[in-house]
A and B are shown apart, each in its own frame.
Chain A
Amino acid sequence: QVQLKESGPGLVQPSQTLSLTCTVSGFSLTSYSVHWVRQHSGKSLEWMGRMWSDGDTSYNSAFTSRLSISRDTSKSQVFLKMNSLQTEDTGTYYCARNYDNYFDYWGQGVMVTVSS
């Protein structure tokens, strides 16, 4: 069955770089796009970016040059890298499979705290 699972550090120091991995199963990254979405503890959801099935990427301009998404199709993994982290980047980070520009399967999420 379709599964996505995020992994990465739970604590990152301010100004450092966040690196997260989304490992998928039950579908191919060359057939489906994968998105990254984050959620602040107050509820709001924010779309961060997308790894297209052809390897192209799209980003939310709110993250400008801080964000990078890549993949390793042989390992069925999508990676998120974001630098210059600040306290407002604290939240839960999800990867989600694309379905017609909506999100039909989500990972369990990984909680990231930015603090010294």
Chain B
Amino acid sequence: DIQMTQSPASLSASLGETISIECLASEGISSYLAWYQQKPGKSPQLLIYGANSLQAGVPSRFSGSGSGTQYSLKISSMQPEDEGDYFCQQSYKFPFTFGSGTKLEIK
């Protein structure tokens, strides 16, 4: 199975700050990568797919980048509603696998 190593495990950011979350795949995944946001008690929501395509309705302050084995999610100008857990997911090979998550909080 492809292992997805996500970092950092937790992050504290000030309002308006730009933050990045990284995901490292154990082998090349050719940009078959998504990012999800999950708020407490809610189901995950798709933010980014195909490494850099913004899902409809997601604010433009979210962006994704990367290639090969290294990918990142950037949030430009942290907002209060951005607090939550973030997960990456690869769809290059079955079984689809997820990163272990990043908890993002407001400082």
Contact = CB atoms under 8 A, between A and B. Distances in A.
Given A44-B98, A47-B98, A58-B94, A106 B43 contact: yes
Contacts of B45: 106
- Interface residue tally of chain A, by bracket? 20 to 34
A110 B44 CA distance: 14
B44 A103 contact: yes
A47 B95 contact: yes
Interface in B20-62: 32, 34, 36, 43-46, 49-50, 55
A35 B50 CA distance: 18
B97 interface: yes
Interface stretch (A7-15, A16-24, A75-83, A94-102): A94-102
Interface in A62-116: 62, 94, 96, 99-104, 106-109
Interface of B: 32, 34, 36, 43-46, 49-50, 55, 85, 87, 89, 91, 94-98, 100-101
23 contacts: A43-B85, A44-B98, A45-B44, A45-B87, A45-B89, A45-B98, A46-B98, A47-B96, A47-B97, A61-B95, A62-B95, A94-B44, A99-B46, A100-B50, A101-B91, A102-B34, A103-B36, A103-B44, A104-B46, A104-B55, A106-B44, A106-B45, A109-B43
